[in-house]
Amino acid sequence: MGLLIGFTTILVVIAAGAALAHVGVLDRRSQRTLGEIAFFVASPALMVVTISQVHLEAAAANLVASSVSLAACFVAYVVIARLRWRLDTGALLIGALSSSYVNAGNLGIAIAAYVVGDITVVVPTLLVQMLLVQPAALIVLDRITGRGEGVAPAIRRLVTNPLTIAAVLGLVLATTGWRLPAPLLSPLEMLAGAAIPLMLMSYGAALRLSPPIGRAGHNGEVVVATVLKMTVMPVVAWGVGVGLGLDDRVLLGVVITAALPTAQNIFLHATRYRVGEDVARETILVTTLASLPAALIVAVLLG
């Protein structure tokens, strides 16, 4: 029931954004504005609140399996897409992220709580994505979109990026055990609550305002990203987890996290940097629809 509720909630909010675009309340400009608000305000608040509450020592066991499965699919997409379509760096990066960057901070936490009974199983993936993969990707995206030249501007953009700052702050809080005072935590929690609806509604509006699935001319890239995300990534996670001797509960958590759909914030980044939007949008939709049966299969086989 938890799986069904989680996926139904996401689809309903996406549908709300699509409906608002259909009736003219949201146009392309306002759809992007929703994404900008999420990027600069609500998502950083969500990162601080979420990461600050995890127990790092309990989450260390599956770090290797989570990282290897992510890296394997990322590299596989880069190799395949570079050889097959000769994509430019921006499109290549967004496609690789779409094939490997999971919805750990949103749907992952809910599924971990309902199916595995322990939200710490998604923490390694969440931290690797937020503290390593995402900052590196943002440096590259900033650089190729012409926002400055050289290493110093890239480092400056990294340390001033709101999502990176929020992830580091959350990690410091989690490591030290410090807790934010209530007058600061309360507004952060309120802003954090807006992040997922803003991202999902922006995504739903983009679906309605963009060409239908399959008509944007990137079917090959979407198929490759989807197969890597929904098939290869869980299998690699399972293989590495078994090889490391992870116990049944942790192994279930690692594999079911790998079987999550592509995170909506990949589309947020694609929109923000005006690159790879079609591939990100369509891969997120296809993997979201495919991930419910995938998660159910994983739960049956390993639960």
Confidence of residue 118 (pLDDT cuts 50, 70, 90): confident
Angle among Cα 190, 258, 125 to the nearest 5 degrees reads 55
Residues in the chain, overall count: 303
Q: What is the pTM of this model?
A: 0.78
Alpha-carbon span 175 to 250, nearest angstrom = 21
Reduce the DSSP state of residue 126 to 3 states and report it.
helix
Summarize pLDDT for 1-47 with one digit per residue, the tens. Answer: 666 777 778 788 889 999 999 999 999 899 989 988 988 899 889 88
Share of the chain above pLDDT 90, in %: 41
Q: What is the pLDDT of residues 70-80, one digit of tens each?
A: 999 999 999 99
Task: Please list the alpha-helical segments (H only) found in 99-218.
Answer: 109-111, 123-128, 134-144, 151-160, 162-176, 182-209
pLDDT value, residue 138: 84
- Owner of token pair 């990461």: 51
Give the tokens for residue 19: 């409906």
Q: Does 148 score more than 60 pLDDT?
A: no
17-56 burial, b if ≥16 CB within 10 A, otherwise e? Answer: bbebbeeeebeeeebbebbebbbebbbbbbbbbbbbebee
The pair phi, psi for residue 50, each rounded to 5°, is: -75, -50
> Is the pLDDT confidence value at 116 over 80?
no
